[in-house]
């Protein structure tokens, strides 16, 4: 399932806290609970990587 998407949420939470998670949800249009059940498809991963980089200002980790 969405193991990698959940890891991106955890990464953003560690770096930016709750406000970062909220921003990630807005940018991806996928709140945490939904991300946990969505597939780690190439499209979803690309969307999350771009959003993580925007929220943190750093390259997204490779999972």
**29 phi and psi angles, rounded to 5 deg:** 60, 30
Distance between the two ends of the chain, CA-based, in angstroms? 14
Note the pLDDT of residue 1: 65
Residue 63 lies in a domain: no
Residue 24 lies in a domain: yes
| Category of 57 on φ-ψ map: left (φ > 0), alpha (ψ -120 to 50) or beta | left
Q: Which domain holds residue 11?
A: 3-56
State what percent of residues in the chain have pLDDT above 70: 98
Q: Does pTM surpass 0.75?
A: yes
Residue 15 has pLDDT above 90, yes or no: yes
Q: What is the pLDDT of residues 32-50, one digit of tens each?
A: 999 999 999 999 999 999 9
Note the pLDDT of residue 59: 96
Residue 39 lies in a domain: yes
Domain count, the chain: 1
Residue 62 lies in a domain: no
């Amino acid at each position: 399932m969405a193991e990698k998407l959940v890891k991106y949420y955890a990464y953003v939470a560690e770096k930016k806290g709750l406000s970062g998670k909220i921003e990630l949800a807005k940018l991806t249009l996928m709140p945490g609970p939904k991300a946990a059940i969505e597939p780690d498809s190439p499209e979803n991963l690309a969307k999350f990587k771009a959003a993580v980089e925007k929220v943190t200002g750093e390259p997204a980790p490779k999972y």
